[in-house]
A = this chain, B = another copy of it.
Amino acid sequence: MGIEERKERERQMRRQQIMDAAKKVFASKGFGGATMENIAEEAEFSPATLYLYFKNKDELFASLNLRMLQDLISRVEGVRDQKDLVPEKRIMALEKALYEVYLEDPLNVVNVLRFQSRGRLKSLSPELSGQIRECTRQYIRAIADLFQEGVRQGAFLDCHPVAFAEIVWSIFAGLVLNEDTKRGLDEGKDLLEPTLILALEIIGRGIMKN
């Protein structure tokens, strides 16, 4: 049946169209400032139509997170798989990967990090929240593997690899949010990159066996 397939394809395109519009609107107004009406207008649909493709506003937003998380995963796994680099260099390659994810779409990264609270995640469908959980597991796992490889080679001190991965991730998330907060209080310049580099240099030295 060619008709069914064409319809499904069209449906996916419209879904994508809504996500593109949402991404634009969320980036310019933030999660709270964006209204479903804004997004509908940008996507050239009525607000009601959005609900045929997404359960609610949270779920629409979280679907965008998923795209970002997948980008993150592929970059971090890329670093994990560069087995030729010495462990020390790979920590810095990780820094670069994280920063590139941020550069891809700074405002949405901030939004995503602020969004993922306990309360919000409860309102998602089990499928979507399962996918997010899986993505989180994956990039933490990739960082942990990268670290463990360094331990195996005798370069790093032996400590809980998942805890290490969470620390690296938290530094990234914390610095991103901190820069955003500073911009809210003050018109300071964006010092994320040098600070992130310094942080991972310190971390790198801190886990080196000497």
Contact with A163, one of B110, B116, B170, B191 (Cβ below 8 angstroms): B191
When distances are taken between beta carbons in the complex, the residues of chain B under 8 Å from A207 are: 202, 205-206
Number of copies: 2
A47 contacts B by Cβ under 8 Å: no
When distances are taken between beta carbons in the complex, the residues of chain B under 8 Å from A170 are: 170-171, 173-175, 177-178, 199
A7 contacts B by Cβ under 8 Å: no
Instruction: Please report the total number of A residues contacting B with Cβ < 8 Å.
Output: 53
Residue of A173, A183, A202 most packed against chain B (CB within 10 A): A202
A178-B169, A198-B163, A202-B207 are contacts. A184–B114 as well, Cβ < 8 Å?
no
Choose, from A10-18, A35-43, A73-81, A118-126, the stretch at the interface: A118-126
A201 to B195, CA, bound (A): 19
When distances are taken between beta carbons in the complex, the residues of chain B under 8 Å from A198 are: 159-160, 163-164, 167
Residues from 78 to 122 in A contacting B, C-beta threshold 8 Å: 110, 113-114, 116-122
